[in-house]
Amino acid sequence: MTKTEIRKTIEIDASPETVFRAISNPAELTNWFPDAAILEPSVGGKFKFTFSKDSTRCGKNQEDVLSEGKVVEFVPNKKLAYTWQHKNIPDFPETVVTWELEQIGKSKTRVTLTHSGFTGKEGDKGIEAHDQGWTFFLNELALYCKNK
């Protein structure tokens, strides 16, 4: 059976408001995730993340990596979801990235990230590569938010 979904949960020492800003505000996103970001904060808004081939954040790539999509859910401090498609990876399906935030203490947030819609035909840029990437970036998010 082919795995079609990544699900990861992490607890972050920061409020849901701080974490939500970090995952939805382009100026904050570029401090821990993509090298350039566009994210329009409303359902139907577009998003575009660019990971530079020269960046140390996204492994060694032969070219810039472009992820694009549309926001499908936007609930401040609780949930953000957007479609995710790599424009420069042939046959990469339109997947969905969902961030769910739950306050679990005075200033602690449980973050559940789900990346769904993989087909198993993505090759070496598929689910395993994204699974490793999300582990790395969730840790970067936790560090970034903790220092806010």
pLDDT at 91: 82
Does residue 7 carry a pLDDT above 70? yes
pLDDT at 99: 98
- Give me the domains of the chain, ranges plus CATH numbers: 5-146 (3.30.530.20)
**In this predicted model, what pLDDT tens digit does every residue of 37-94 receive, in sequence order?**
999 999 999 999 998 877 666 655 556 778 999 999 999 999 999 999 988 877 889 9
Q: Contact at 8 Å (CB) between 75 and 96?
A: no
Closest CA to 98 of 23, 48, 39, 28: 23
Kindly state the average pLDDT of the residues 106-110: 94
- Cα–Cα distance measured from residue 105 to residue 119, given in angstroms and rounded to the nearest whole number: 37
Does residue 20 carry a pLDDT above 90? yes
pLDDT at 63: 65
**Residue 102, helix vs strand vs coil:** strand
pLDDT at 85: 93
Mean pLDDT of the chain: 91
User: Residues with Cβ < 8 Å from 129, sequence gap 6 or more?
Assistant: none
